[in-house]
């Protein structure tokens, strides 16, 4: 099978979409499928045996932190030359317009996947009045596809309510070998706590942006002076957040990758997830795989993944006292150990191999349908 993947984000970017995509590509290549990736040109022209066709990338006025590729006829030329059996448009938004349009024009089987809850982000950028228009836009992009995948039951239900067609769940996965409790390192813990490794360490991993609700930690740190926090990641709000958290024991590390990231997960006491805008939040499962209980704001996707007081803890995002109460629970060492063990057991239920095999099956379904 010849697969063309058209994506708004790819290497060297690091996020949940890229993580899922890389595991899927690894699986497809292992099954001797041919894969071509069309993505913003950020200097990567090959991933293993898959060619990456770069489309000129630029920063846009409304979001200066990241570079995007604009719609272009080059996508038509590339698809005509490659002649794929199926096109998978990942998170269509800007470049994806070309992917959808030219794939339909060439009558190639089309699958799309929805990974980022952009309409929900509008609430954080004073653009709530544009949400109905935004939903219409994404529905227009997705509905030409024979199949639309999403990453949580909550989002599947929401997309169906919004009249997206042919919506199916693409199961989650996690690398339980890469993320494992055995990667605990005293040196990493000392680094993340600035030498105060005897204190409880809370970890955040992700993009530093308004919709991640990181600022909700401020009142918690006013009350809980005995905890330390490490923020792993980068983003448009980093400078602002560093200033806000400057009086508190918070470590901003920037991005960590590979073994360093695995060490960071395994060396903390709990993982914090204050966002309620996620379509899934793969970092939750990565943390659980490392034996880290997750303390998460209640939302559809977090409730799907966390069994409260069993393998993690859920709190009301608008209730600081509830957040603090959940953090206090991990001070009971027996309960903390139970949460850690159950988190790991939950993560072991999932694998990228199974999730990627499911995607391969979806590809065959779409090809047969067409």
Kindly give, in sequence order, each residue whose CB lies less than 8 Å from that of residue 168, ignoring residues fewer than 6 positions away.
147, 148, 149, 150, 156, 362
Domain count, the chain: 2
Confidence at residue 308, expressed as pLDDT on a 0 to 100 scale: 98
Residue 127 has pLDDT above 90, yes or no: no
Asked if 143 and 164 count as a contact pair (C-beta separation under 8 A), the reply is yes
One domain for residues 231 and 338: yes
Q: Is the pLDDT score of 61 beyond 80?
A: no
Note whether 76 and 210 are same-domain residues: no
Look at residue 126 in the predicted model and tell me its pLDDT.
Answer: 87
In a shared domain, residues 91 and 42: yes
Tell me: do 169 and 223 sit in the same domain: no
pLDDT band at 64 (very low <50, low <70, confident <90, very high): confident
Helix, strand, coil fractions of the chain, as percent rounded to 5: 45, 20, 35
**What pLDDT score was predicted for residue 307?**
98
In terms of domains, do 194 and 289 share one?
yes
- The predicted pLDDT at position 317 comes to 94
Residues 186 and 283 grouped into a single domain: yes
The answer to whether residues 25 and 167 belong to one domain is yes
CATH number of the domain encompassing residue 269: 3.40.50.2000
**In this structure, are 65 and 112 located in the same domain?**
yes
Q: Domain containing 279: what range?
A: 181-347
In a shared domain, residues 125 and 113: yes
Average pLDDT over residues 8-28: 97
Residues 219 and 124 in one domain: no
Confidence bin at 215 (pLDDT 50/70/90): very high
pLDDT tops 80 at residue 63: no
How high is the pLDDT of residue 174?
98
Q: What is the pLDDT of residue 49?
A: 98
pLDDT band at 355 (very low <50, low <70, confident <90, very high): very high
pLDDT at residue 258 tops 90: yes
> In the structure, what pLDDT confidence band is assigned to residue 225 with cuts at 50, 70 and 90?
very high
For residue range 85-120, list pLDDT tens digits in order. 999 999 999 999 999 999 999 999 999 999 999 999
Q: What is the band of 60 on the pLDDT scale with cuts at 50, 70, 90? A: confident
- The pLDDT assigned to 66 comes to 87
Q: Which of 118-132, 160-174, 260-274, 300-314 has the lowest mean pLDDT?
A: 118-132
CA distance 334 to 104: 57
- Per-residue model confidence as pLDDT tens digits over 323-354: 999 999 999 999 999 999 999 999 999 999 99
Residue 207, token pair as written in the block: 């993009």
Give the C-alpha separation, 219 to 274, whole Å.
13
Q: What is the mean pLDDT of the chain?
A: 97
The mean pLDDT value for 29-36 works out to 99
- pTM (whole model) above 0.85: yes
Same domain (yes/no): 360, 314: no
State mean pLDDT over 185-211. 98
Q: Where are the alpha helices (DSSP H) in the chain?
A: 16-30, 74-82, 95-105, 118-121, 131-142, 153-161, 186-192, 218-223, 238-244, 258-267, 282-289, 300-305, 320-329, 333-347, 352-369
């Amino acid at each position: 099978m010849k697969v063309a993947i058209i994506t708004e984000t790819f290497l060297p970017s690091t996020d949940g979409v890229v993580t899922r995509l890389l595991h899927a590509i690894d699986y497809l290549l292992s099954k001797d499928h041919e894969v071509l990736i069309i993505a913003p040109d950020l200097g990567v022209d090959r991933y293993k045996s898959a060619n990456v066709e770069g489309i000129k990338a630029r920063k846009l006025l409304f979001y200066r932190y990241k570079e995007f590729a604009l719609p272009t006829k080059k996508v038509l030329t590339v698809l005509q030359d490659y002649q794929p059996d199926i096109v998978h448009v990942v998170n269509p938004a800007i470049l994806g317009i070309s992917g959808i349009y030219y794939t339909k024009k060439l009558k190639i089987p089309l699958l799309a996947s929805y990974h980022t809850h952009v309409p929900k982000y509008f609430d954080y950028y004073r653009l709530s009045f544009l949400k109905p228009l935004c939903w219409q836009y994404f529905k227009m992009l997705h509905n030409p596809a024979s199949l639309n995948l999403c990453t949580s039951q909550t989002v599947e239900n929401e997309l169906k309510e919004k009249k997206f067609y042919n919506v199916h769940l693409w199961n989650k996965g996690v690398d339980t070998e890469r993320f494992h409790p055995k990667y605990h390192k005293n040196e990493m813990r000392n680094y993340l706590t600035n030498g105060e490794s005897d204190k409880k360490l809370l970890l955040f991993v992700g993009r530093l942006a308004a919709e991640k609700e990181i600022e909700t930690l401020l009142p918690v740190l006013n009350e809980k002076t005995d905890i330390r926090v490490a923020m792993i990641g980068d983003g448009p709000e980093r400078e602002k957040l560093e200033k806000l958290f400057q009086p508190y024991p918070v470590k901003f590390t920037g991005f960590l990758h590979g073994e360093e990231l695995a060490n960071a997960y395994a060396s903390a006491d709990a993982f914090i997830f204050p966002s309620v805008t996620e379509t899934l939040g793969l970092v939750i499962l990565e943390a659980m795989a490392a034996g880290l209980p997750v303390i998460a704001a209640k939302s559809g996707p977090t409730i799907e993944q966390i069994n409260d007081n069993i393998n993690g803890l859920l709190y009301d995002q608008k209730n600081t006292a509830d957040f603090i109460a959940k953090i206090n629970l991990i001070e009971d060492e027996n309960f903390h150990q139970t949460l850690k063990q159950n988190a790991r057991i939950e993560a072991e239920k999932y694998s990228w191999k199974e999730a990627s095999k499911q995607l391969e099956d979806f590809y065959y379904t779409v090809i047969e349908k067409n």
